[in-house]
Chain A
């Protein structure tokens, strides 16, 4: 049985291993980093700590979010560093039984493939499990 913190980006439902998640919270004001790689959404002040924020959308091949959209942050630990992932909405923590976890579909865009560890068939919809290290390295 694996537990995932779920969230939505655009219309997709994604999840990351609950063990890697430090917290989930409303997105803070970000300081943009000119010249940074595309996925870097900026730096936020997380209780005095400077944390890199990664926008998952470009990495997932999704259009940028609207100007006034209220986003959320999923704060994860990556190799001793704290990184926050920018998502649309936070969902539940779901437990998935092993027999529902499958390899990602072959039809997946090869550019996105390294990002997706597995696909879980939930009752009502499909949950794509993100590789946290890969996602944070956007």
Chain B
């Protein structure tokens, strides 16, 4: 119900403005009857009101607007020229509409406003031959049969206007002698209403939106100066006759209630966006100044100063929030187009799609709203085109024929999260992998080593499109990479989750506003940088006293053990290519999160958290790709804002296509690296095996091990898992234990378990630095974590457990055979 109210409210605000404009237009139109521009404007307005009222089921309103429109069609098509009676009835229509709107605003319904007089009057003028309007009008006005409703006269200034004013209660004294035409008076009289626009500016808190770009409807009336002198004069005359009109519908309402009720149009105003932007900038400056003063106050020992600074702090924060709110718009503004997009697209692609939108009132800065529009549309199109299957496929898969596409928006931790969720076919990571290989974006080895989630991230690579055929819906070069670029450009993130057969969720996280953001000032090689707090997960202080400081090196790549997990480290100085003085060693790890990746950024010091105002960078600095902007800190220094995502892509991901300076070193060190699982097999020996081919690690109890045909197996997830004990295989002895630790390898439907004593670590191993040893079951050795580690020949180890493991195809019969054997031994 609330949503309906919101729509009605907007409709009212808009219509009130439109009506004011309409008054002016109609009057101006009478002066220049031939103006097509004015006619079109009038026609548009009435048409809009008619359409919306029909939609909102305000039938009487629709009826009035409808007959008015008919009349306007004649005018527009030149079948009739604008003359006074026409203007009169049109203004009468405007007044009736206004009455209705007022009633709707007060009660939510059309109340008992009688539209018949207006409808009758308009119809009459419409049905008349355009030639002799005045002659015809006079007789009708005195014709009793024409006043089909109880009371319909009160001509403000002329008898010809008898039907024009729907004053249902008070017939005002008519002043036929008054030569000034009534319609001219009608408009200003309306504007002189007690709740006219002049008290509006103070009341903007209810509806802070409506900040649409300036259009011709900005309230002051530059279009009417020609009529104003006359209008002012007639306002005096017309007033006596006109005032009862608007009041009539409010007759039953106590006066004070009217006083307290604000007209919808008056409780919100349209403001030039430029002005808001300017305000925002100034507030930004204020925040900076406040920061500076806070800093000064905290160092001075002056209590009064501290108190004032505190107060300034509060006020500035509230002001900042308030100004930010004025720029906020509900995301609905972008979503409102979606039903149509979905409908058209579904029809075109032969899909049945139900669109659900949740959280449309979630607000975000309008510049951001603008920026997410295209990416969001793209995701929606993509979901309909590629996500949701054709009805027959869905039914075959046991899903309802109608697909569900959900848009969800919500606030979460200073960010707005927007989800595009479909219940379609999902994205198959294997298909993505195959595609990436086929397109040459990744090698087969690379994709083999990637988790399903990592594979999905490949969708965001430039030049990737999983659409099997290029339709005119997608495949137009706007790929997910563009979506990601756009969203990241505004400091947001995109990620995707998908379950094959069940659907896909695209999740955008967007900052509330661009202009001001909380950030952490960090120091690196004597310079200050701002690290946006959105990305900061935690800070870890390194113990400077200890010589090793906890940082370990996997060859050139530094890592840190954070609560048992290995955190790759990136030296900020390294990324920036700056020289660090010998005595300055990184003392803090800022653990940051970007693009699903977590890494530690090594900085010298962390100074403070601050709200910073983002200043855009000159294009050629932006092109460096490390900084997202600059800011002036509280002490007046300029600091560069680090683009964490860019740094992550540059320094961390092996697949980054970077060639720029700074990142080279790190990438070079990582080029030939693969992740290996290091396991102890007893007797102090360690073996390493490629992590990529490991499916799982499992613990099983020793008594679960059964013997089948002389080989050890365990029952595992409903199948038989053959085992190979690495200690025995490699000629050592592991501790006897109640529990066996298995490294499970899977290929097709076959799995084998390699029994190890303990899992030591997962590390990165530089493939080129291996020494080869020719020993049974090993392929070589290497140094990992300063210990010599043997490299396991996984293939031979697996074959020791299951001789047919690599015999493709038809793996099933072997297991079937095993099942029988198991059955036999029981």
Whether A33 lies near B637 (C-beta < 8 A) is: no
User: Lowest 7 CB-CB distances: which A-B pairs, in order?
Assistant: A34-B576, A31-B638, A50-B615, A43-B638, A50-B630, A52-B618, A35-B624
Bitwise, A20-63 to B at CB < 8 A (1) or not (0) is 00000000011111111100101111001110100000000000
Q: Which residues of A contact B637 (CB under 8 A)?
A: 29, 31, 45
Which residues of chain B have C-beta atoms less than 8 A from A52's C-beta? 618, 621
**What is the chain B residue whose CB lies nearest that of A137?**
B620
Interface flag for A67 (CB, 8 Å): no
A81 at interface by CB-CB < 8 Å: yes
0/1 string, B626-637, CB within 8 A of A gives 1? 110011100011
17 more CB-based (< 8 A) A-B contacts, given A40-B620, A43-B640, A50-B615: A29-B637, A31-B527, A31-B630, A31-B639, A31-B640, A34-B576, A35-B576, A35-B662, A36-B620, A36-B621, A36-B624, A45-B632, A48-B288, A50-B632, A50-B638, A52-B618, A137-B620
Report whether B640 and A33 are in contact in the complex, using a CB–CB cutoff of 8 Å: yes
Q: A37: which B residues are within 8 A, CB to CB? A: 620
- Is A48 in contact with B577, judged by CB distance below 8 angstroms? no
Chain B residues near A43 (CB-CB < 8 A): 630, 638, 640
The number of residues on chain A lying at the interface, defined by a beta carbon within 8 Å of a beta carbon of chain B, is: 21
27 A-B residue pairs with CB within 8 Å:
A30-B638, A31-B637, A31-B638, A33-B621, A33-B624, A33-B627, A34-B576, A34-B578, A34-B626, A34-B662, A35-B626, A35-B660, A35-B661, A35-B662, A36-B620, A36-B621, A37-B620, A42-B638, A43-B630, A44-B638, A45-B632, A45-B636, A48-B288, A48-B632, A50-B632, A81-B618, A137-B620
What is B's interface to A at a CB cutoff of 8 Å? 285, 288, 527-528, 576-578, 615, 618, 620-621, 624, 626-627, 630-632, 636-640, 660-662
A56 to chain B, nearest CB (A): 16
Bound CA–CA A44/B626 (angstroms): 19
Considering the complex, give the chain A residue whose CB is closest to the CB of B526.
A32
- Bound-complex Cα distance A81 to B618 (A): 8
Bound CA span A43–B640, Å? 9
Q: Which residues of B contact A48 (CB under 8 A)?
A: 285, 288, 632
Residues of A within 8 A of B620 (CB): 36-37, 40, 137
Hey, which chain A residues are within 8 Å of B661, CB to CB? 35
> Nearest chain A CB to B260's CB is how many angstroms away?
44
A62 CA to B637 CA in the complex, in Å?
29
Residues of chain A lying within 8 A (CB to CB) of residue B624: 33, 35-36
CA–CA, A49 and B618, complex, Å: 13
Q: Which residues of A lie under 8 Å from residue B288 when comparing CB positions? A: 48
Contact present for A34 and B577 (CB under 8 Å): yes
- Residues of chain A lying within 8 A (CB to CB) of residue B631: 50
Tell me the smallest distance from the CB of A64 to a CB of chain B, in Å: 16
B632: nearest chain-A partner, CB-CB: A45
B519 to chain A, nearest CB (A): 15
Whole-angstrom distance between the Cβ of B178 and the nearest chain A Cβ: 57
CA distance A31 to B635 in the complex (A): 13
Q: How far is the CB of B289 from chain A (nearest CB, A)?
A: 8
A50 CA to B620 CA, complexed, in Å: 15
Bound CA–CA A118/B640 (angstroms): 37
Chain A nearest CB from B44 CB (Å) reads 36
Chain A residues with Cβ under 8 A from B577's Cβ? 34-35
Task: Among A50, A81, A83, find the residue whose CB has the most chain B CB atoms closer than 10 A.
Answer: A50
CA separation between A83 and B640, bound complex, in Å?
17
Q: How far is the CA of A45 from the CA of B627 in the complex (A)?
A: 17
* A48 CA to B577 CA, complexed, in Å: 28
Please name all residues of chain A whose beta carbon is closer than 8 Å to the beta carbon of B627 when the two chains form the complex: 33
List the B side residues contacting A49 at CB < 8 Å. 615
Q: Do B527 and A32 have beta carbons less than 8 Å apart?
A: yes
- Assembled-state Cα–Cα distance A56/B309 (Å): 42
Contacts of B578 on A, CB cut-off 8 Å?
34
CA–CA, A63 and B615, complex, Å: 32
